[in-house]
Amino acid sequence: MITYGRHRFPGKLFVVEGTDGSGKSTQLSLLYQWLKAEGHDVFFSEWNSSPLVKATTRRAKRRRLFTPSTFSLLHATDFADRTERDIIPPLKAGAIVLADRYIYTAFARDVARGCDRAWVRGVYRFAVRPTVAFFFRAPLDVAIDRIVSGRPALKYYEAGLDMDWADDGEESFKIFQGRILEEYDRMVAEFGLTVVDASRSIEKQQREMRRIVLRHLKEEKVAG
């Protein structure tokens, strides 16, 4: 098993993970606002947002050129660029970094698409271990309903239509998300993900998240 090193920088890295529609982005946004209000220096990083590969990704998606492995490697390039530019520098400066999806997204999605588990984990072996990785676990039917009801149409790769699991986009999406959820459940013990019951109210989830984050921030003060 590949183990990812806990960073020695003074900052803290908190990440959120979960299937589409799990509510993780809402929770991270609320946490960001709270930390800023408390006077902390906070930086934000989002999955698949590096300007280095954004145009390439857009063109390849439009022309449907991706294979599972090329999709995986392009996301890894995006992640490497953001790690160097948006994650490591704030951690070195002692700030808090919040990441909407981290390496576990690749481990779930890429393996769900058929990539080898060990290979994908090896691709990301340069990543630093987060202070806490929150896994917002929502019932699959609830998460899927949130996405399907809020979108005019599911995108080709979003629905997993490139895998030929089903001709219907919604049915393919259900299969894809089910496989992703299975991978997340496997990773809870492997990587020590902190599971949050995403079926509870937004307020209860946020209180739990803040309590855990605050404990780690207090530990830093005591250590200092």
* Residue 58 covered by a domain: yes
What's the pLDDT score for residue 134? 98
Give the lowest-confidence range in 6-10, 67-71, 76-80: 6-10
* Residue 165 covered by a domain: yes
Residues 6+ apart with CB under 8 A from 204: none
Distance, in Å, from the CA atom of 6 to the CA atom of 13, rounded to the nearest integer, reads 10
Mean pLDDT of 78-97: 95
* Residue (of 147, 136, 145, 140) closest to 206 by Cα position: 136
* Residue (of 75, 77, 102) closest to 87 by Cα position: 102
Which domain range does residue 64 map to?
12-223
CA 210, chain centre distance (Å): 18
Distance, in Å, from the CA atom of 121 to the CA atom of 126, rounded to the nearest integer, reads 10
How many structural domains is the chain composed of?
Answer: 1
Instruction: Give the residue, 3 or 81, on which the prediction is more confident.
Output: 81
DSSP letter at 199? T
CB 57 within 8 A of CB 48: yes
Q: What are phi and psi of 98, to 5 degrees?
A: -110, 125
Q: What is the pLDDT of residues 130-145, one digit of tens each?
A: 999 999 999 999 999 9
Mean pLDDT of 163-172: 94
* Residue 195 covered by a domain: yes
CATH for 192 = 3.40.50.300
pTM higher than the cut 0.85: yes
* Residue 3 covered by a domain: no
* Residue 117 covered by a domain: yes
* Residue 103 covered by a domain: yes
